[in-house]
Amino acid sequence: MLSGNLLNGIILGAVYGLMTMGLSLIFGVLKVVNVGHGAFIMLGAYVAYWMFTLFGLAPILSVPIGLILGMALGFLFFYLVMKRLLDAPELSTLLATFAIGIFLEEIAKVVWGPDFRGYSWDVGTLHLPIATIPMAKIYALLSSIAIAIALYLWFKKTRAGTALRCLVEDKEGARVCGINVTGFYALSFALGLGFTVLSGVLLTLFIPVGISPYMGGIYTLKAFVIAVLGGLASPWGAFFGGFIFGLVENGSYSLLGLIPNVEPFSLTQFVAFMVLLVILLVKPEGLLGEK
Amino acid sequence: MKGKLFKTVFTVAVVLFVACALSMPAGARVPKKVIIGGTISLSGKFAKEGQQSVWGVKAVEKWVNTVHGGVKIKGQAIPVEYKYYDDESKKETVTSLCERLITSDRVKFILAPYSSGLTLAGAPVVDKHGVLYMSHGGASDRIFDQGYSYVVQTLSPASKYQTAPLDMIHQLDPSAKKIAFLFEDGEFSRAVARGAAAHAKKLGFQIVFNRTYPKAAKDLTPVLTELKAAHADVLIGGGHFADGQLLAKQLGDMSIDFKAVSILVAPTLPGFYKALGTMAESFMAPGQWGIGAKYSPQSAKSLGLPYFGPTQQVFMDYFLRESGGVNPDYHGAEAAAAFLAYVYAIEKANSLNPDDVRDTMNKLHFMTFFGEWQIDPETGKQTAHDMVVLQWQGKKLQIIWPRAAQTSKPFYPMLTTKQRASGKLAIPK
Amino acid sequence: MIFQKYSSFLLALIVFAVLFAIGMVSPSMWQPIALIMFYIAMGQAFNIFMGMTGYVNFGYVAFLAIGSYGMALGVSRFYQTGIGLWLLFVGFALAIVMAAILSLLVGGIALRLRGAYFAIATIGVNEGLKYLIEGGKFWGGSEGIIISKPMRATFGRHLANSLSTFWADVFLFIIALLAAYLTFRFMHSRVGYALTAVREDEDAAKVMGVNATKYKLIAFIVSSCVAGLIGATTWCLKSTYVFPEDVFEISYTVEAIVIVMLGGSGTLLGPIIGGLIYGICKYWLAVLLPGLQLLILAPLIILIIVAFPGGIVGVIRERIRGTVLDQVIV
């Protein structure tokens, strides 16, 4: 039973990790914490839902649509709002991203209604001795890993990626080298949001029901825990952090189930946040971050 | 200069509030209409249920005014108006808007907000002013243990929710003894679980699994793995929409089968079938009401009860007009029934005095399209309304229990995961 | 001189007095006024920490929640001892103590961190505490505590109603006054100067010998205790119940942030003005445009942040900079 839980935790963890990469990217480059994170995941979930329900498009193929939508919104919000706040105190950007998140949720509610949506993409089930896993989840796992690797390669190998890394190291130096700082900020913000929306699409492969305007909130919280785990400014740290989080979340259930007269499932959520506090206490830059 | 500043601020503050105060009607008026009102959630976490409730009440408001001819008191027929404000699913807003309804809008018959918590939040205000408070969305039995005398209830209390499925299974298959409980960890679900556990023990069931999951759980795999190992015959549980959907879906993902599954709320919505497709077949849910329930003037007559309000078909017509084509679920029906109960009680009391109406309510036992209505005189709790059991059969939601209300026979035992995945429909022979 | 120093505090008093007066004179206004005072008080308590330090406590609502648990536990566990109205004292005392303990625990860890890390650490407090209560099944677990019956048993029906519908709000006024006073004292004391230095440039302040952590912790604990008192009165005493699923909602933290930003963080009058406007807008939007409040407020917030980062008080300050009034509005 424990091994089944852990396997499930790894798969879920991959999606969690991908989901958090966008958050870490935005913080790493712009030093902005996107508190409206969950709203963008919600958008991705709706993209997958509508593409499947209206056009029969397999959710996997909605992934690039999610990415493009997220990037478009990213550029829009950056030039409209974030750019003006680059020199403002941290609080302002926290609030701005939060307000954007709320705005998106409310629009979603007005346009799509507060109903819970879901869809059924049946591509078979994998029967393993330790667990029974729908193939859709396997696809989610593989896609998450593939996309994470793609992002990693983009950063390391392409000119744009390298420029971005320079920007993070030394803003003034980058400017002197002729890098268009504002442009790259916009690109990072757009990429970050793009990845977040994309992860919302993949999330529905894992959980294809319960899609509603306010579904994102719980993911914002999880994403923060994972981001801190992996090092707030490090996207691949976030990805591995996701795995750890998934393992801890599922694994602790089996452990807590041994304690009498408690509700183990609720306590696993408590454990997750205890982990957060412990990490912050011991190694605030995250398990994989550098000081 | 300092004085000027103080003066300005002071004036601004006064102006703002004079504006608010002016919204209060000057002096007391003789009511040319009856206002029944309440706060309801049009945003926030109960937005969906709140919207259904508003549509339901508006539907019967129209019926009362057009078909019934208004509220008949002392030989006169007075129109009735439904006044409502959005409480955003928040308790502070409930108390402030509730008092506004009572003091500013002079409402003496309040419809409680949706959910047990918010219903509790408005109770002190209502009690202080001595106006009536009808719960149509607050099922928790605890509300009625607090000693309030102006709070009455139209829907069945939480403890009754899962007793009907248990009765049904006990009668259909006495050999199914092992029950698993898997409820959401929330106030309402726990109240249901408590009532169900007591009833299960009484009927001789054996509870082999009893766990909860947190409200916002997004993946139930850990607890479902444990559930599979318990090898129970029947699963009783659930909570609200999203988690119910998730539970049903993941039961299928993990190929966990039972002879019967009854989960709260989620399967009563069309969205459940839309999301799960044929995997939803043969899932059951208890409901306060379902489309097709056989409560009608005829059935009332056969029980020797008076019938009040529109027939179900008429209610559906009015509702569909209000909702723009969305079917009513039990949230809409229970709100409508609450409104109808008020109108009926006012007419029977022949008075608009809350105390008179409250006393009259103690003596009433009648039926609407929603079911029977009778309250416990001391606590105001609903005693006569029965829950029905609903089941998805052949893409339609049927009422399968009690026998007097059923639109179709129960499909038991339910289809296995494999059968549902192959597209088999749960149509009883 | 002294008058100038106290003038902002006096202004706050006048606003409270006017609100109280309106509520007493016109009974239909009492509840709306109580709602506005809730927002004002909530903003003030939040401002004691955020305004002074510039740090965002995303777990703020957990302190409102634990305060309401304090009151709920006080009433439900002790009502049979026959101490009558002292029961409320017990409730409030418990609220303060529990809030203080929680803030010490959280602050002890989180305040060693800077900026965004701190914010993230505090996000966990809210959810963590909720799941601990639900999972550990203490304090009623997910079923919470209802105090209507104990209140009615101890105080009788009329007094119980009156406590919930009137006196709870009077207590709120007193707490708001307390919050205003504390803000004022902090701003004009060593704590305030230290925190201003920290807010402007924490590293420089540390170099100069300011014990940043100690002062941040003081502000944090005070802010949390006041929040606990607010929760005890407006959430528990007034609505007579505490359900975990209800009291740990992050939206209240958001509202507190909005109120403080709207009015101007770090100022005495900021949260008061912010709370006034926010409360009025919310109330009227609920009456006139049900369902659309957040849709309207969200872009409004963005507008304020982009165009008026100092909030309304900031705008006023700009206008009167250099004049005598500059010293009045702090």
- Phi and psi torsions of B368, nearest 5°: -125, -175
Query: Ranked by mean pLDDT, which of A164-173, A216-225, B1-10, B127-136 comes out on top?
Result: B127-136
Query: Which ranges of C26-59 would DSSP assign to H, the alpha helix?
Result: 30-53
Specify the higher pLDDT residue, C210 or C79.
C79
B95-126 pLDDT, tens digit per residue, is: 888 988 998 888 999 999 999 989 999 999 99
What's the pLDDT band for B321 if we cut at 50, 70, 90? very high
Specify the higher pLDDT residue, C231 or B29.
C231
Structure tokens belonging to residue A113: 């209604």
What's the pLDDT band for B28 if we cut at 50, 70, 90? very low
**Residue-by-residue DSSP string for C246-285:** HH--HHHHHHHHHHHHHH-TTSSSHHHHHHHHHHHHHHHH
Q: Which of C244, C253, C235 is nearest to C171 (CA)?
A: C235
Q: Is A214 on the interface with B (CB under 8 A)?
A: yes
Q: Distance between CA atoms of B274 and B144, rounded to whole angstroms?
A: 37
What's the pLDDT band for B24 if we cut at 50, 70, 90? very low
Q: What topology does CATH give the domain B160-287+387-421?
A: Rossmann fold (3.40.50)
Q: Distance between CA atoms of B239 and B161, rounded to whole angstroms?
A: 11
DSSP annotation of A132 reads: E
pLDDT value for B25: 43
Q: In this structure, are residues C223 and C49 in contact, taking their beta carbons and an 8 Å threshold?
A: yes
pLDDT value for A1: 66
Strand spans (E) along B215-332? 234-238, 260-264, 284-287
What's the pLDDT band for B8 if we cut at 50, 70, 90? low
- Phi and psi torsions of C201, nearest 5°: -160, 100
Mark yes or no for CB contact A96/C306 under 8 Å: yes
A65-110 pLDDT, tens digit per residue, is: 999 999 999 999 999 888 888 877 777 787 788 889 989 998 998 8
Pick the CATH number of B34-156+292-373 from 3.40.109.10, 3.30.300.30, 3.40.50.2300, 3.40.50.10470: 3.40.50.2300
Q: Residue B350 above 80 pLDDT?
A: yes
Specify the higher pLDDT residue, A169 or A27.
A27
Q: Is B29 on the interface with A (CB under 8 A)?
A: no
Q: In this structure, are residues B100 and B56 in contact, taking their beta carbons and an 8 Å threshold?
A: no
Q: Distance between CA atoms of A201 and A42, rounded to whole angstroms?
A: 9
Q: CB atoms < 10 A from the CB of B303, how many? A: 13
Domain range summary for chain A, segments of one domain joined by +: 2-112+125-282
What's the pLDDT band for B2 if we cut at 50, 70, 90? very low
Q: Is B271 on the interface with A (CB under 8 A)?
A: yes
Residue C140 identity (one-letter amino acid): G
B242 Cα to chain A: minimum distance (Å): 5
Q: What is the average per-residue pLDDT within B125-152?
A: 91
Mark yes or no for CB contact A5/B43 under 8 Å: no
Length of chain B: 429
Q: Return the residue of B nearest to C28 by Cα.
A: B103
Q: In this structure, are residues C239 and B121 in contact, taking their beta carbons and an 8 Å threshold?
A: yes
What's the pLDDT band for B26 if we cut at 50, 70, 90? very low
Please enumerate, as own/partner, the contacts of B13-18 that have beta carbons within 8 Å and a separation of 24 or more. B13/C15, B13/C18, B13/C19, B13/C276, B14/C18, B16/C276, B16/C280, B17/C18, B17/C19, B17/C22, B17/C29
Q: In this structure, are residues C53 and C107 in contact, taking their beta carbons and an 8 Å threshold?
A: no
B176-201 pLDDT, tens digit per residue, is: 899 999 999 888 899 999 999 999 99
Q: CB atoms < 10 A from the CB of A71, how many? A: 21
Pick the CATH number of C2-250 from 1.10.1740, 1.10.3470, 1.10.20, 3.40.50: 1.10.3470
pLDDT value for C81: 80
What class is the A2-112+125-282 domain? mainly alpha
Strand spans (E) along chain A? 125-127, 132-134
Distance of CA A17 to the CA centre of its chain: 6
Mark yes or no for CB contact A210/B243 under 8 Å: yes
In the stretch 218-277 of chain C, residues with CB closer than 8 A to chain B read: 234-235, 238-241, 243, 245-246, 276
B230-280 pLDDT, tens digit per residue, is: 999 999 999 888 889 999 999 988 889 999 999 998 898 888 998 888 899
B359-382 pLDDT, tens digit per residue, is: 999 999 999 999 999 999 999 999
Mark yes or no for CB contact B1/C293 under 8 Å: no
**Residue from A83, A265, A279, A280 to probe the interface with C (highest C Cβ count within 10 Å):** A280
Mark yes or no for CB contact C34/B95 under 8 Å: yes
Listed range (A119-123, A228-232, B135-139, C242-246) with the worst mean pLDDT = A228-232
Average pLDDT in chain B: 88
Domain range summary for chain B, segments of one domain joined by +: 34-156+292-373, 160-287+387-421
Helix, strand, coil tally for chain C in percent (to 5):
85, 0, 15
Using CB atoms, pick whichever of A132, A134, A207 lies closest to residue B218. Answer: A207
What's the pLDDT band for A125 if we cut at 50, 70, 90? confident
What's the pLDDT band for B1 if we cut at 50, 70, 90? very low
Q: What is the average per-residue pLDDT within C234-244?
A: 90
A217 Cα to chain B: minimum distance (Å): 10
Q: Distance between CA atoms of B133 and B113, rounded to whole angstroms?
A: 10
Q: Residue B310 above 60 pLDDT?
A: yes
pLDDT value for B114: 93
Using CB atoms, pick whichever of A1, A115, A269 lies closest to residue B226. Answer: A1
What's the pLDDT band for B17 if we cut at 50, 70, 90? low
C269-328 pLDDT, tens digit per residue, is: 899 999 998 888 887 777 777 667 778 877 877 887 777 777 777 777 777 776 665 555
DSSP annotation of B384 reads: S
**Residue from C131, C142, C301, C308 to probe the interface with A (highest A Cβ count within 10 Å):** C131
pLDDT value for B27: 37
Q: Residue C45 above 90 pLDDT?
A: yes
Query: Which chain A residues are Cβ-neighbours of C302 within 8 angstroms?
Result: 81, 96, 99-100, 103
Q: Distance between CA atoms of C47 and C43, rounded to whole angstroms?
A: 6
Using CB atoms, pick whichever of B9, B95, B190 lies closest to residue C238. Answer: B95
Mark yes or no for CB contact C290/B91 under 8 Å: no
pLDDT value for B247: 93
C168-216 pLDDT, tens digit per residue, is: 999 999 999 999 999 988 888 888 888 888 777 777 877 887 787 888 8
What's the pLDDT band for A286 if we cut at 50, 70, 90? low
Between the alpha carbon of residue B77 and those of residues B37, B68, C105, the distances in Å are 19, 9, 65
Q: Distance between CA atoms of A213 and A107, rounded to whole angstroms?
A: 8
Structure tokens belonging to residue B246: 């998730």
